[in-house]
Amino acid sequence: MKRWQFWIGVLISIFFLYFALRGLQLGDMWQTLAGANYIWLIPGVAVYFIGVWVRAWRWHYLLRPIKAVPTRTMFPIVAIGYMGNNIYPARAGELLRAVVLKRREAVPVSASLATIIVERVFDGVVMLAFVFLNLPELARLTADSGFVGDIQTLALWGAAAFLGVLLAFLLAAMFPTITEKVTRWVVDHLVPQRFREKILDIALRFLGGLESLRSPREALMVFLTSLVIWLLETGKYWFVMHAFNFQVSFFALMLMNGIVNLATTIPSAPGYVGTFDAPGIAVLKAFSVPGAIAAGYTLVLHAALWLPITLLGGYYLAREGIKWSDDLTLE
């Protein structure tokens, strides 16, 4: 990633952190952190790792038409990927896990990247469902502010984008012959001749990664698995909430989960600094949670989501024999 892009991400994170923490009494927030019952992080982390295992199963399911890879093999690679997302800019962990999968199982990077993009599209659809399901309640609580209208507008644009990409993937999977013909025509007419063979090879492997969506039953299975994953992650939000002196409904935490994860698609410093925290605090304040408690909870939740999977992924990366300085080829 170019250095100027990295620093733009840092500036965006600083901007979001400013809005997250402005007006807060830092002394009150530290008092909240000091008084938290951190034993609740243990079941929260446990349920999160169950969700990571389900993610590994989902990836195994998507990859079956390409190669059958056991879930126990996928789990360390998924952990490596999420570690990479947490410490590298631009979600580079997604590419990292595709490269590690190629090293271990000889699955083409372009094909596995197709399945990873499918995962992300389904994740986005579930996140938007969490938001839309809870917008009426949020509107009732914050009827006099523009907060709900802003979220609703962003959610509508996000829904159009995610559903549009999902529809394109489903059509490409269900009509592979037509899709291949269109792809070949586009490459033959729009790509310079010296690049055609390479790009066509990558494109066809990418289309091969969409085979798991070939039937409505398969697509429904991926959607339901994605729903389970994000309900488990919301379960972590719920457990961590019990460490602090406030209560909101599970549905409110679903809304928070949906909004913060959609917000983390905005470029930022590694680890989603600011882009996770600012919208999370805003949602809780909309549900009448005091600002200091909302900030303390969100920061602890962010750390609890970031640290365990990053440590586990780093451990698995070391076991793979990959060094930070290694040049991981995509070939």
Chain segment 167-207, per-residue pLDDT in tens: 888 888 888 899 989 999 998 888 888 888 888 888 888 88
pLDDT at 102: 93
Give the confidence band of 133 by pLDDT, cuts at 50, 70, 90: confident
pLDDT at 271: 86
Q: Average pLDDT of the chain?
A: 87
pLDDT exceeds cutoff 70 at 140: yes
Do 258 and 130 contact (CB within 8 A), yes or no?
yes
In terms of pLDDT, which residue wins out, 16 or 232? 232
**Helix axes 71-87 and 92-105, enclosed angle (nearest 10):** 150
pLDDT exceeds cutoff 60 at 324: no
User: Nearest to residue 68, comparing CAs of 222, 212, 214?
Assistant: 212
Of all residues in the chain, what percent carry a pLDDT higher than 90? Answer: 47
Q: Which two tokens stand for residue 88?
A: 């590298």
CA separation for the pair 211, 113 (Å, rounded): 13
Q: How many helices (H) and strands (E) does the chain have?
A: 13, 0
pLDDT at 326: 53
CB neighbour class for 124 (10 Å; exposed up to 12, middle 13-18, buried from 19): buried
Least confident of 170-174, 232-236, 252-256, 297-301: 170-174
pLDDT exceeds cutoff 70 at 270: yes
Q: To the nearest 10°, the Cα dihedral for 122, 128, 130, 131?
A: 170
Chain segment 19-57, per-residue pLDDT in tens: 878 877 778 889 999 999 999 999 999 999 999 999 999
Do 8 and 267 contact (CB within 8 A), yes or no?
yes
Average the pLDDT over 217-222 and give the result: 89
pLDDT at 239: 98
CA separation for the pair 245, 32 (Å, rounded): 8
Do 142 and 159 contact (CB within 8 A), yes or no?
no
Average the pLDDT over 210-215 and give the result: 81
pLDDT at 328: 54
pLDDT at 159: 76
Of all residues in the chain, what percent carry a pLDDT higher than 70? Answer: 92
Average the pLDDT over 98-102 and give the result: 93
pLDDT at 329: 53
CA separation for the pair 165, 265 (Å, rounded): 15
CA separation for the pair 210, 221 (Å, rounded): 14
pTM above 0.85, yes or no: yes
pLDDT exceeds cutoff 70 at 108: yes
Give the confidence band of 235 by pLDDT, cuts at 50, 70, 90: very high
Q: Where are the domains of the chain?
A: 36-319
User: Nearest to residue 237, comparing CAs of 57, 105, 40, 67?
Assistant: 40
Chain segment 54-96, per-residue pLDDT in tens: 999 999 999 998 899 999 999 999 999 999 999 887 788 999 9
In terms of pLDDT, which residue wins out, 125 or 205? 125
